[in-house]
Amino acid sequence: MEKTKLGIEGTDSRKKDKNHTQLILDSIPYRIMVVNMDMTIHTVNQSFLNEFNLSDDDVRGKPCHLVRYGLNRPCDEIGRVCNIRQRLDEIREKKSVSFYKEYLNDNDETRYDVITIAPIFNKEGELVQILEVSRDVTERFLLEQEARKSNTFFQNMIQSTVDGIVVSDTKGNVLIWNQGMEVLTGYSAREMTDSGHLSSFYDIDVAKENMRKMRSDQHGPPGKLNPTNMMITTKEGEKIPVTLSASIINIDGKETASVGVFRDMREVLQMRKDLEDAHLQLVESERIASIGRMAAGVAHEINNPLSGILIFAELLKENLKDNPQYFNDANEIIQQTLRCKRIVSDLLEFSRQSVGKISSFGVAELINKTLDLLVNQALFQNILITKEIDSELPSMVGDMAQLQQVFTNLFINAADAMEGNGRLDIKARFESKKNQFHICVSDTGPGIPENLREKIFDFFFTTKAPGKGTGLGLTITKNIISLHGGSIAIDSPPEGGTTFVIEIPLGFVAKTAEEPLFVGLNN
């Protein structure tokens, strides 16, 4: 009798424990299913029943594939994965396994579950049942998927941007470093995000000043910095001009990072310089045109009076042979009048706006003919002349007479600079990559002071003594070379000597003029 009573009490206790366990399971908001090793359902909680609109009798002892997925046969028999059987060895070892499961519901909508399965062992340590806990995470999964897409789009946008983009924390440590910054600075994204700091490429005092500006409202909206000019330093130590636009990143009202957009300004500044140079050239051209019009007009008007002065001065000179004082005065009138005529002649020469007679000739021929006219003059008697002219040079096309005038001016200027004693070096080669002739004329004179180098091609500028030069020789030289599509530059190192570098293209085509550049040119 006593044993029977104890047995009844034990049964009641187990029922109470079981009921209590079931109450606990039913209070859990996730779906819980306990599966026997034959894949029949031992128990489920209320959340499971509610989710699938089932009763306890519809579930207990029934195959899990029928209850869980509405299948007439086990999952693995119809080509589907059985989440439990496939992972038996894994859950024995790891004790629990979690994974995502994608499926279609009754409305053919794609849903996502996160499922955790765990083993249930008896007292002997044998695996007797499997616990499956699942919950619908479709909304969270879709949000994460959208977040991943947005993050991918964001990353692609940052990386594909030509400008450099840097995100750093409040201590200046680099968090994001895009491809634009790699190209701009030479630092790789890995080395910068691993251990890079703003100070690696960015003056830290400037960085602090820019942060101060962003915290004020004087340089854009608060928290932002309008485009600001500054310099950054590349990995190789090169200084690069950039414009920086920046903003502070706040999360929950607290500064957490800053983002900066760096735009390489080298090309823009070069374009700006080219435009300024073009503008200066235009202004110079207009200035030259104005001077030329005036000079050509004056030259045309005074040529005849000068000729008259010369004739009468020569007659006067003949009549004053017996009076040395007046004879010398008449001779001075003649010399100064001839000088005026040379200036007039130079002005008219400069007034040319097109190449004259075009022919084909060798560079060596051009240089040699020019030297033949000069080497016998007293000024060149003590000057050593060296020539390095490539024997394979192609023929040059242009006005040989005009180009002879160019080299005559350069050779005489060199001899004057050396005061008739020194070395004149002439070198000529052809640059196939640029398709142009490269000719250098060098002397061993004292050189040209740096403050005068920009002036030597100006009208009437000369370093010679009064009466020794008109100041038009180099101006005419530059004009003739320009008419041939070329350029002339000067190099005069501190130790002395001067080199004029002339570049003339091979494919020269004479410019045709619609109207004379200077008034009176054709009269």
Q: What is the CATH number of the domain that holds 75?
A: 3.30.450.20
Q: How many CB atoms lie within 10 A of CB 92?
A: 11
* DSSP E strands, 122-238: 127-136, 164-169, 174-177, 224-233
Same domain, 176 and 233: yes
As beta bridge partners, residue 45 has none
Q: What is the pLDDT of residue 420?
A: 84
Note the pLDDT of residue 440. 93
Run of H or E residues at 246: strand 239-251
Are residues 458 and 357 part of one domain?
yes
Q: Among 337, 369, 385, where does a domain finish?
A: 337
What's the confidence (pLDDT) of residue 437?
A: 92
pLDDT for 111-129, tens place per residue?
Answer: 888 889 999 988 888 889 9
Determine the Cα–Cα distance for residues 136 and 140; give it in Å rounded to an integer.
9
Look at residue 305 and tell me if it is in a domain.
Answer: yes
Q: What is the DSSP letter of 199?
A: G
What's the pLDDT at 521? 33
User: 479: exposed, middle or buried (C-beta count within 10 Å: 0-12, 13-18, 19+)?
Assistant: buried
Q: Determine the pLDDT at residue 1.
A: 53
My answer on whether 254 and 202 are in the same domain is: yes
Q: What pLDDT does residue 523 have?
A: 35
Give the pair of three-digit tokens for residue 224: 């932002």
Residue 147 lies inside a defined structural domain of this protein: no
- Strands 254-264 and 164-169: what pairing? antiparallel
Helix (H, G, I), strand (E, B) or coil at 13: helix
pLDDT of amino acid 299: 65
Q: What is the CATH number of the domain that holds 455?
A: 3.30.565.10
Neighbours of 220 (CB within 10 A): 17
Do 260 and 282 have their domain in common? Answer: no
Question: How far apart are alpha carbons 332 and 98 in whole angstroms?
Answer: 114
Contact yes or no for 142/148 (Cβ under 8 A):
no
Q: Is residue 477 part of a domain?
A: yes
Q: Is 228 part of any domain?
A: yes
**One domain, residues 69 and 177:** no
Q: Are residues 246 and 292 in the same domain?
A: no
Residue 210 CA to residue 243 CA, distance in Å, equals: 12
Task: State whether 420 and 281 are in the same domain.
Answer: no
Of the residues 306, 337, 368, the one at which a domain ends: 337
Is 196 inside any structural domain? yes
Question: CA dist 416 to 378, 446, 457, 473, Å?
Answer: 11, 11, 17, 13
What pLDDT does 346 receive?
61
Number of compact structural domains in the chain: 4
Same domain, 469 and 393: yes
In this predicted model, what pLDDT tens digit does every residue of 372-383 receive, in sequence order?
Answer: 878 888 888 889
Work out the angle between the directed axes of helices 324-350 and 266-319 (0-180°, nearest 10). Answer: 150
Residues of the chain with pLDDT under 50: 6, 466-467, 511-523
476, 405 contact by CB (below 8 A) = yes
In a domain, 520, yes or no: no
Tokens linked to 250: 């706040």
Are 189 and 260 in a shared domain?
yes
- Collapse the DSSP code of 388 into the 3-class scheme (helix H, G, I; strand E, B; otherwise coil) and give the result: strand
Res 231: pLDDT: 92
Q: Is 487 exposed, middle or buried (0-12, 13-18, 19+ CB in 10 A)?
A: middle
Surface-to-core class of residue 295, CB atoms within 10 Å of its CB (0-12 exposed, 13-18 middle, 19+ buried): buried
Determine the pLDDT at residue 297.
Answer: 65
Burial label for 366, CB within 10 Å (0-12, 13-18, 19+), is: buried
User: In this structure, are 494 and 356 located in the same domain?
Assistant: yes
**Do 385 and 306 have their domain in common?**
no
Residue 425 pLDDT: 93
Angstrom distance (rounded) from CA 425 to CA 335 = 33
CB 310 within 8 A of CB 338: yes
What torsion do the CA atoms of 407, 412, 414, 418 make, to the nearest 10 degrees?
A: 160
Single residue among 337, 368, 393 that ends a domain in this structure = 337
- Asked if 124 and 176 sit in the same domain, the reply is no
Residues 6+ positions from 520 with CB-CB distance below 8 Å: 296, 297, 299, 300, 301
* Closest to 294 measured CA to CA, from 339, 344, 338: 344
Amino acid at position 477, single letter: T
Count the neighbouring beta carbons within 10 Å of the beta carbon of residue 277: 10
Residue 109 is classified by DSSP as: -
| Domain interval for residue 118 | 16-141
